Structure 1
């Protein structure tokens, strides 16, 4: 866990301070969920720390941060589940399609689990400066930063149903565990 936090800090804190603020709060939120997940708690927390590491300039090979982060993590002996969660977080496959990178994403497994849904939830309910936002406000925030024809908006629209469903499942689980006031 400490390695994941320090890795994210080294790559993001100076180069991308806004991204670092986002990652810190995504990880903090994941950390509050982790104790309720048993063995998957650590996987969630580590994945939250590392989910945006691919934005770091030294790692940005393809320019697609989920892929670049996952490719880096493969080189440093991170568990395959974490690599896959990073590669495919927050409906990254829709954006990969819009960029023509489908072929490079083939080796990553979308586990479609509660852990995956919770990672998507914490990412999509923390804003770019680390502020808590509800899902719809976060999606509106993304939409406001790009022109309608931009590939990010095309990918956002293509993956919206999957994003919305993941956030709904995560929210339902959080409510069922009785920890909504803690996250």
Structure 2
């Protein structure tokens, strides 16, 4: 993978988010910064993670919000308007246990059909780790604090609140897997 995908992804995300959703843009930049810290763990996939990290929330851009489900809207935008790498679109579509939220929204079959995961466990885990350890303002946090922040922002009984509470055990398991992989890497 060459670094040009990361520069392209940054330009696309900035164009779509920086003016209309500056806080979402700050979060995306923070998630991308976290991705840099995992580059040794991912080796040749480090640039793919960096690109997915900066683009993971692009589907929140108002002009892209066709379904109102940002992972699906963002992945479709990348695929349909940019002809993006298939792996990149799948990562954006499936970030942070999106299948569970898609299920809450009645969109699981659509997401699985259009953007099936194909053996990308380490990349998916790495993207979850980066997203769930970054605040809405782009600062580092713990996964426990992030989940609590999401529940607090949306409400425990909201669709997002229900989804994130269901996903929390898996999110916390990812933290352990990624941290273990990071420690195992030679420096």
TM-score normalized by structure 1? 0.92
What secondary structure is seen at the aligned counterpart in 2 of 1:38? helix
More helix by share: 2
The residue aligned with 1:81 is 87
Q: Distance in 1 between matches of 2:42 and 2:129?
A: 15
Q: CA RMSD in A?
A: 1.4
Q: Distance in 2 between matches of 1:34 and 1:54?
A: 25
Q: Distance in 2 between matches of 1:169 and 1:153?
A: 24
After superposing on structure 2, the runs of 4+ consecutive aligned residues of structure 1 that deviate more than 6 Å are: none
- Counterparts of 1:67-146 in structure 2, within 5 Å, are 67-75=72-80, 76-107=82-113, 108-110=115-117, 111-146=119-154
Q: Distance in 1 between matches of 2:30 and 2:150?
A: 17
Offset, 1:147: 2.3
Offset, 1:112: 4.7
Q: Distance in 2 between matches of 1:112 and 1:164?
A: 18
The residue aligned with 2:178 is 170
Q: Distance in 1 between matches of 2:179 and 2:11?
A: 29
Question: In 2 relative to 1, CA 160–36 (structure 1 residues): closer, same or farther, beyond 3 Å?
Answer: closer
Aligned length: 179
Q: Distance in 1 between matches of 2:183 and 2:134?
A: 18
Q: Which one is further off, 98-107 or 68-77? A: 98-107
Q: Which one is further off, 108-117 or 81-90? A: 108-117
Offset, 1:36: 4.1
Could you list the runs of 5+ residues in structure 2 that have no partner in the other structure?
Answer: 1-5
